[in-house]
Amino acid sequence: MTTENSRALFSVVVPVYNASSYLEECIESVLHQTCPDYEVILVDDGSTDRSGALCDRYASDTVTVFHQENQGHTAARQKGAELAKGDYVVFLDSDDLLDPLFLERVRQTLDKAPADMVQCRRLSFFDLRHPNGLQVWDNPVPDGYYDVERIQQTVYPCLMMDQSGRCFPRAISAKAIRREIVLKHLPRVPAVIKTGEDMCGVISMFADIRTLSVISDAVYLYRIVPGSISRSPDPEALVRCASTVGFLKQCLPIAETVLYPQYLRLCIQQAYSACVQVLRSGERKKIRAAYDCFSRQTGFCEILRQAQFTDRRLRMKKELLQREWFWAIRFLNRSH
């Protein structure tokens, strides 16, 4: 923990909204870090359960609590970053956990070679008492230190989505990022983007990421919660997807020649997921009109024509969208 008037190396930002079931466990996982150089910022985003009171219970010299009206996950993260005093920001979702060694491993990595971003691996779990259910997330970028040249050669080819569907980790969690980069890029993500906001923020940041360290340690614990936003019904999902597609297009100048084919593939993946959410909402009769509007706004017909995949499942998604076989999309995803 930090001493008075000292600067925390790490600012751990936790956006909180109706998370009382897991919040205490989440906060305790930070307070039990073996690295002492951190502060915690809890941003209560207008919770209506007892989350706000739980946050206040932890308020201290080390833990800052901020309450605001509900503005969404991205806005809560932005506020936390604005309040941060550390050199690096670590975002922790309120239902997830940090391994006690998370900050220690990141600090050891930075001591060897300072970097704009440190990427750890994520370990997903339903219940930590059942280790057979643990799964380490894939990262197509090998462990190691990357300067600008290596980032361009190794990271950019999978920053959005390569032909097989693999990509650099899109989540803003499991990372330690220089605070000034977070403050520059996170506010650029439009508030209307509710799914894919992590991805948009991370991709945007690579315009200013000059050095990167990737480590193999799976020290971020991602809790799999049934009914997450990405799997929930949403009749406005295609509207939101149009905003996501528009934002991603703005990111292309980072490395347009390399990223444009990936942009096409990622747009298809996002559009397919949005269609699934609309269909789950029961708006089956309205999806064709919503899809037509989405296509006009984004030039999606041309995106479909140009995109190329080697992955069979992604080729199938492209085919279903081209044919506008929404009945097949609904059938394939009815049990997921």
Task: For residue 3, tell me if it sits in a domain.
Answer: no
- Residues 119, 268 within the same domain: no
As a whole number, the mean pLDDT across the chain is 92
- Residues 150, 83 within the same domain: yes
Task: For residue 1, tell me if it sits in a domain.
Answer: no
Task: For residue 5, tell me if it sits in a domain.
Answer: no
Return phi, psi of residue 72, to 5°: 105, 165
- Residues 296, 315 within the same domain: yes
What range does the domain containing 318 cover? 231-332
Please compute the mean of the pLDDT values over residues 126-142 and round it to a whole number.
80
Question: Which among 172, 190, 225 is the end of a domain?
Answer: 225
pLDDT digits (tens, 9 = 90+) for 1-17: 554 445 679 999 999 99
Please compute the mean of the pLDDT values over residues 169-187 and round it to a whole number.
97
Q: Among residues of the chain, what percentage have pLDDT more than 90?
A: 82
- Residues 76, 211 within the same domain: yes
Task: Name the amino acid, one letter, at 201.
Answer: G
User: Does pLDDT of 20 surpass 50?
Assistant: yes
Specify the pLDDT at position 168: 97
- The torsion of the CA quartet 226, 229, 231, 232, rounded to 10 degrees, works out to 100
CA-only gyration radius of the chain, Å: 20
Residues 9 and 79: their CA atoms lie apart, in Å, by 18
Rounded to 5°, angle at Cα 108 from 105 and 111: 150
Task: For residue 132, tell me if it sits in a domain.
Answer: yes
- Residues 162, 298 within the same domain: no
Specify the pLDDT at position 4: 47
Specify the pLDDT at position 188: 94
- Residues 81, 96 within the same domain: yes
Specify the pLDDT at position 216: 94
7 contacts: CB under 8 Å, gap ≥ 6:
85, 86, 87
Q: Are 159 and 168 in contact (CB under 8 A)?
A: yes
- Residues 150, 173 within the same domain: yes
Question: For residue 21, what are its two tokens?
Answer: 């079931």
- Residues 121, 86 within the same domain: yes
Question: Which among 203, 225, 247 is the end of a domain?
Answer: 225
Q: What is the DSSP string of 169-225?
A: ---SBSEEEEHHHHHHHGGGS-TT--SSHHHHHHHHHTTT---EEEEEEEEEEEE--
- CATH number, domain containing residue 52: 3.90.550.10
Instruction: Give the global pTM.
Output: 0.92
Residues 165 and 193: their CA atoms lie apart, in Å, by 22
- Residues 36, 159 within the same domain: yes
Specify the pLDDT at position 285: 87
- Residues 219, 326 within the same domain: no
Which is it for strands 38-45 and 63-68: parallel, antiparallel or unpaired?
parallel
Residues 288 and 293: their CA atoms lie apart, in Å, by 9
Return phi, psi of residue 237, to 5°: -60, -40
Give the chain's domain count: 2
Question: Which among 225, 258, 274 is the end of a domain?
Answer: 225
- Residues 55, 126 within the same domain: yes
- Residues 86, 46 within the same domain: yes
Task: Name the amino acid, one letter, at 232.
Answer: S
